[in-house]
């Protein structure tokens, strides 16, 4: 049966939409066709005239036009002082439209970190928040108890941008009727139950603690260059981008862009440390055991790694 | 009879844009362009570490994040006073130009042409063909464009790890160290794109296209073969002239382009010189070309929702203190008004063509002057110049081994700027540093130039000016307004709404 989708952009950059255009096998056009999803509205894809678009919104809000998927991209802007005047549509705060549409949808999907957790501007004058989380805290814009018509909370697909396979994959699973197993931050476990670190081609360097302090080298970037790979949940190094590579593979530290606290308030490209030991260790690790293991590993590091002879 | 039409939010542009025009006897006599969303990115940068601009500023824009990265890295090159190795300049240029190819073709076939599929055009003889080619998602050319642009972006994933939003450019070069195998893959991907572009978009090879140097040549080219006539470009020329796009969207006739400074600074890095458009940038007004000097750029906030004086400031001295008042007569936009020597100027592919003295576009400027038709034509054919430039940079990088990164050392300057040509035109970042932290960060985007509101003198921004004189057939569905606005490829998200003042 035909499903319907409404995509609304709020305080964001459009990067999740453009990430979605990278979908392949099937490509974007084939995907929506094979899932039999009708795009009622998407800011980049729609040709509806103003009057038709206003009628569509009215029909969705009155319930006359059923809505299966509401996709929100970008943060909900509440500033200044809760008025939402920093983001207007039709002269009215866009946040009010978001709240009204969310009540009509079978599924509400927050695409990207800004829509999921607030992202950019959570501590600024724009008073940004995610749909159902504000950083680590449940609640956000629609509140902790919100459930869409299907009984699900807002489904979070963080990432800056969200990897295109996750967007296509989530829609496919929901349409096929597969129950989505969600993590504690309401993200599908299928993609967010692994760390960005998994699959990084620099893992052998990490294993033997062969660490880099400068850009343009082959070693691990966790101890000095601020890499958050072992601290961020996401499939970057499993799915890769364009099936080709990832930031950490080419030598860009992971910035933890799937984390609820992205962007971090302290500097990127630096690992916060106490006497050379990172303040934050890979998720879930025992500090003493980790340090003993890393000490021994560094001592055991093979020459080919220490001399950067091994390719990445 | 005077009536006012408000178009908001206009769809198929990036970000939030509202246009309002005043009509007298169906002709636009006044226009206002308003950015309706404030994200406060410049203020997010204050107090942060200098390198953080590499992570935060690409996130301003989902379709030109590599351009922001390039501008941010260039400003840092200056702050750290570090020389960028030529290998790094090639990698930066390859990725920036790959993003440009993506943007130009996606804009043309996904965002611009779909306006012609509006039922208002159904009596046009080419309408059925138009829908077949450009219907959203389903259209044959649209589907091909989705695949081809995804392919060209693979180059950025190979060299930069992901697209959008990577941070592989750093002060002193790039972090990646592509092998010749990886560069070979880039060359194959570029070649795939080139073959598609020649076959589908031009209907001829690049050499034949570059022989088109006057308007008369273009007319002859169109009739020369069925391949030209039926290519996407041929189809565009036929449909757009039939619907009068060459008669609307004139504007001030002032242009600005920042060029590719990395390649311009070291002429030896510019492979296949002559085929790379514009390298140094420039400013064009009153039919005269001037060198681009960033000192002459100011931003005026007299009509924008920002607190402070109504005088204009150079971006090194500018501030962004939002001042939300809802709707007030004088202030009507979240976009400031950039000016060059107090003059508004449009930017984008057409500016690039005019400033690089492209024979074809210079001839068109002489014969017909600027128009919505010419603006979109520039965007459609720019790839013919970019592709050889990217080829040259890949060849250079493969044949010249060397380092991709020079250690950037310590901060040496307290002020730095990075001005580059982004897909939509000139993009600048201006940074002040104090105590090793960012004191201020001002960004002027191409759309800030094009969609600028009025300045203190009351002079309209380029897009506002381009709307003046446009005849609107049906005020309930003002397609002509859409064509003019979209010919600027504004990066701001929008729907159409009409208020009848009668």
> What residues in B contact A252, CB-CB < 8 Å?
160-161, 166-168, 175-176
Reported confidence tier of residue B265, pLDDT bands at 50, 70, 90: low
List, for residues B442-484, the tens digit of each pLDDT value: 999 998 899 988 888 899 999 999 999 999 999 888 899 999 9
Residue B255 contacts residue B355 (beta carbons within 8 Å): yes
pLDDT band of B134, cuts 50, 70, 90 = very high
DSSP string, A105-130: EEEEEEESHHHHH--TTTTSTT-EE-
CA atoms within 13 A on the CB side of A264: 22
Segment (H or E) for B486? helix B479-486
- Domain locations in chain A as residue ranges: 3-190, 203-306
User: How confident is the model at residue B498, as a pLDDT?
Assistant: 24
Q: Are B461 and B333 in contact (CB under 8 A)?
A: no
Cβ pair B455, B462 in contact under 8 A: no
In this structure, are residues B298 and B278 in contact, taking their beta carbons and an 8 Å threshold? no
Smallest CA–CA distance, residue B135 to chain A, in Å, is 9
| pLDDT tens digit sequence for B64-88 | 999 999 999 999 999 999 999 999 9
Please identify which residue in the block is written with the tokens 């069925």. B226
Q: Cβ separation of B168 and A250 shorter than 8 Å? A: yes
Name the residue of chain B whose CA is nearest to A266's CA: B48
pLDDT band at B272 (very low <50, low <70, confident <90, very high): very low
Q: Which B positions 479-498 lie with beta carbon below 8 A of chain A? A: 493-498
* Residue with token string 């060209």: B152
Q: Indicate which of A13, A58, A91, A167 best probes the interface with B, i.e. most B CBs within 10 Å of its own CB.
A: A13
Instruction: Report d(CA B16, CA B18) in Å as an integer.
Output: 7
Task: Give CA–CA dist B202/B436, Å, rounded.
Answer: 51
User: A 76-115 residues with CB below 8 A of B?
Assistant: 77, 79-80, 83, 85-91
| Residue A107 φ/ψ, nearest 5 degrees | -130, 135
Q: Which residues of A touch B117 (CB under 8 A)?
A: 47
pLDDT on residue B410:
94
Determine the residue among B5, B175, B306 to mutate to test chain A binding: the one whose Cβ has the most chain A Cβ atoms within 10 Å.
B175
Confidence of residue B400 (pLDDT cuts 50, 70, 90): confident
Answer yes or no: are the C-beta atoms of A255 and B167 closer than 8 Å.
Answer: yes
CB proximity B407 to A under 8 Å: yes
By the 8 A CB rule, do B126 and B241 touch? no
The domain defined by B2-486 folds into Cytochrome-c3 Hydrogenase; chain B (1.10.645)
ipTM above 0.95, yes or no: yes
Instruction: State the pLDDT confidence band at B487, using cuts at 50, 70 and 90.
Output: very high
The per-residue pLDDT for range B287-298, each reduced to its tens digit, is 899 999 999 999
Domain ranges of chain B: 2-486
Interval B483-497 mean pLDDT: 67
pLDDT band at residue B494 under the 50/70/90 scheme: very low
Contact B143 A48 (CB under 8 A): no
Task: Output the pLDDT for position B303.
Answer: 77
For β-strands A88-89 and A76-77, DSSP reports them as unpaired
What pLDDT does B12 receive? Answer: 56
Q: Kindly report, residue by residue over B195-209, the tens digit of the pLDDT.
A: 999 999 999 999 999
* B14, pLDDT greater than 60: no
Is pLDDT at B273 greater than 70 in this prediction?
Answer: no
Nearest to A242 among B115, B157, B327 (CB): B157
Domains A3-190 and A203-306 in one fold = no
Of B7, B114, B177, which has the smallest distance from its Cβ to A47's Cβ? Answer: B114
Indicate the average pLDDT of chain B: 88
Chain B, residues 6-25, CB within 8 A of chain A, namely 7-9, 11-12, 14-16
pLDDT at B492: 56
Instruction: Average the pLDDT over B367-382 and give the result.
Output: 97
At residue B267, the pLDDT reads 55
Helix (H, G, I), strand (E, B) or coil at B499: coil
Q: Using a CB-CB distance cutoff of 8 angstroms, which residues of chain A are in contact with residue B497?
A: 50-51, 54, 90
| Distant-in-sequence, close-in-space partners of A288: CB < 8 Å, separation ≥ 6 | none
Q: How confident is the model at residue B302 (pLDDT cuts 50, 70, 90)?
A: confident
Listed range (A134-148, B184-198, B263-277) with the worst mean pLDDT: B263-277
Cβ–Cβ gap A13/B498 under 8 Å: no
pLDDT of residue B310: 56
Q: Using the predicted structure, report yes or no on whether residue B496 has a pLDDT greater than 60.
A: no
Architecture label for domain A203-306: Irregular (4.10)
Residues of chain A with pLDDT below 70 are 49-50
Mean pLDDT of B48-63: 95
Tell me the chain A residues in contact with residue B54 when contact means C-beta distances shorter than 8 Å: 268-269
Q: Do A250 and B176 touch (CB under 8 A)?
A: yes
Give chain A positions within 8 Å (CB) of B63.
Answer: 14-15, 18
Torsion angle (degrees, nearest 10) of CA B288, B290, B292, B294: -100
- pLDDT, residue B19, reads 84
Quote the percentage of chain B above a pLDDT of 70.
88
User: Which residues in chain B are contacts of A24 at CB distance < 8 A?
Assistant: 150
The reply to whether B328 touches chain A by the CB within 8 Å rule is no
Please determine, for residue B497, whether its predicted confidence score (pLDDT) is greater than 90. no
Instruction: State the pLDDT confidence band at B263, using cuts at 50, 70 and 90.
Output: confident
Distance separating alpha carbons of residues B485 and B409, to the nearest angstrom:
45
Which CATH topology does A3-190 take? Rossmann fold (3.40.50)
Contacts of B9 in chain A (CB under 8 A): 43, 89
Is residue B270 scored above 70 in pLDDT?
A: no
In terms of average pLDDT, the best of A246-250, B20-24, B40-44, B112-116 is: A246-250
Question: Which residues are CB-contacts of B308 (< 8 A; sequence separation ≥ 6)?
Answer: B301, B319, B321
Taking an 8 Å cut-off on Cβ atoms, the answer to whether A88 and B404 are in contact is: no
Give, to the nearest 10 degrees, the angle between helix B127-134 and helix B232-242: 130
Share of chain B above pLDDT 90, in %: 68
- Quick check: A242 and B154 CB within 8 A? yes
Distance CA A248, CA A225 (A): 11
Residue B462 near chain A (CB below 8 Å) = no
- Cα separation, A170 vs B89, in Å, equals 39
Residue B347: band (very low, low, confident or very high) from pLDDT cuts 50, 70, 90: very high
**Residues of B in Cβ contact (< 8 Å) with A80:** 322, 324
Would you state the pLDDT for residue B331?
A: 72
């Amino acid at each position: 049966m035909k499903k319907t989708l409404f995509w609304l952009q709020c305080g964001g950059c459009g990067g999740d939409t453009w990430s979605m255009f990278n979908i392949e096998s099937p490509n974007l056009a084939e995907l929506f066709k094979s899932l039999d999803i009708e795009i009622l509205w998407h800011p980049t894809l729609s040709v509806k005239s103003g009057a038709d678009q206003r009628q569509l919104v009215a029909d969705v809000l009155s319930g006359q036009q059923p809505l299966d998927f509401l996709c929100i991209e970008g943060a909900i802007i509440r500033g200044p002082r809760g008025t939402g005047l920093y983001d207007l549509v039709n002269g009215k705060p866009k946040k009010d439209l978001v709240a009204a549409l969310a009540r009509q949808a079978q599924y509400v999907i927050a695409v990207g970190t800004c829509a999921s957790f607030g992202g950019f501007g959570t501590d600024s004058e724009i008073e940004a928040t995610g749909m159902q989380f504000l950083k680590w805290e449940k609640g956000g814009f629609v509140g902790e108890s919100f459930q869409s018509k299907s009984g699900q909370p807002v489904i979070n697909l963080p990432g800056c941008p969200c990897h295109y396979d996750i967007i296509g994959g989530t829609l496919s699973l929901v349409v096929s009727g597969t129950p989505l197993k969600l993590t504690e931050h309401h993200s599908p476990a299928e993609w967010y139950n692994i760390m960005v670190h998994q699959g990084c081609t620099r893992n052998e360097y990490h294993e033997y603690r062969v660490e880099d302090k400068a850009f343009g080298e082959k070693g691990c970037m966790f101890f000095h260059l601020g890499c958050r790979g072992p601290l961020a949940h996401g499939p970057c190094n499993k799915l890769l981008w364009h099936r080709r590579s990832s930031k950490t593979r080419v030598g860009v530290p992971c910035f933890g862009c799937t984390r609820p606290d992205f962007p971090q308030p302290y500097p990127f490209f630096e690992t916060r440390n106490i006497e050379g030991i990172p303040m934050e260790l890979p998720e879930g690790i025992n500090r003493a055991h980790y340090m003993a293991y890393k000490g021994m590993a560094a001592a055991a590091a093979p020459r080919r790694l220490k001399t950067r002879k091994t390719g990445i | 009879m005077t009536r006012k039409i408000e178009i908001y939010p206009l769809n198929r542009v990036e970000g939030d844009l509202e246009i309002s025009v005043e009509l007298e006897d169906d002709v636009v006599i006044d226009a206002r362009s308003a950015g309706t969303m404030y994200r406060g990115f410049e203020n997010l940068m204050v107090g942060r570490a200098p390198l953080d601009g590499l992570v935060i500023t690409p996130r301003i824009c989902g379709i030109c994040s590599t351009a922001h990265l390039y501008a941010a890295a260039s400003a840092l090159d200056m702050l750290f006073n570090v020389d960028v190795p030529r290998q790094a300049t090639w990698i930066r240029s390859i990725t920036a130009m790959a993003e440009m190819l993506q943007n130009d073709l996606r804009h043309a076939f996904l965002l611009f042409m779909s306006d012609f599929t509006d039922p208002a055009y159904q009596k046009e003889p080419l309408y059925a063909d138009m829908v077949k080619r450009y219907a959203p998602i389903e259209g044959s050319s649209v589907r091909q464009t989705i695949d081809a642009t995804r392919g060209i972006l693979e180059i950025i994933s190979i060299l930069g790890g992901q697209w959008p939003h990577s941070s592989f450019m750093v002060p002193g070069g790039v972090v990646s160290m592509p092998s010749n195998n990886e560069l070979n893959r880039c060359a194959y991907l570029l070649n795939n794109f080139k073959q598609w572009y020649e076959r589908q978009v031009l209907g001829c090879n690049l050499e034949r296209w570059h022989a088109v140097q006057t308007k008369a040549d273009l007319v002859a080219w169109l009739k020369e073969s069925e391949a030209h006539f039926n290519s996407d470009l041929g189809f565009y020329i036929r449909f757009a002239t039939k619907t009068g796009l060459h008669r609307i969207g004139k504007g001030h006739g002032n242009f600005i382009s920042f060029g590719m400074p990395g390649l311009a600074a070291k002429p030896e890095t510019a492979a296949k010189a002559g085929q790379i458009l514009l390298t140094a940038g420039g400013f064009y007004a009153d039919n005269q070309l001037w060198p681009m000097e960033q000192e002459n750029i100011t931003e005026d906030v007299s009509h924008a929702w920002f607190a402070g004086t109504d005088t204009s400031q150079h971006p090194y001295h500018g501030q962004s203190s939002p001042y939300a008042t809802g709707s007030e007569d004088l202030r009507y936009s979240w976009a400031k008004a950039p000016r060059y020597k107090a003059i508004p100027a449009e930017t984008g592919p057409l500016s690039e063509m005019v400033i690089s003295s492209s024979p074809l576009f210079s001839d068109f400027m002489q014969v017909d002057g600027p128009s919505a038709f010419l603006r979109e034509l520039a965007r459609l054919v720019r790839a013919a110049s970019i592709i050889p430039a990217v080829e040259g940079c890949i060849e250079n990088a493969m044949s010249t081994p060397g380092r991709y990164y020079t250690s950037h050392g310590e901060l040496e300057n307290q002020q730095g700027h990075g001005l580059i040509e982004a897909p939509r035109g000139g993009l600048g970042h201006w940074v002040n540093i104090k105590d090793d932290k960012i004191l201020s960060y001002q960004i002027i985007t191409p759309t800030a130039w094009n969609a600028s509101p009025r300045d203190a003198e009351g002079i309209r921004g380029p897009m506002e000016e381009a709307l003046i004189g446009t005849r609107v057939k049906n005020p309930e569905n003002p397609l002509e307004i859409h064509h003019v606005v979209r010919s600027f490829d504004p990066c701001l998200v929008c729907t159409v709404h009409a208020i009848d003042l009668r």
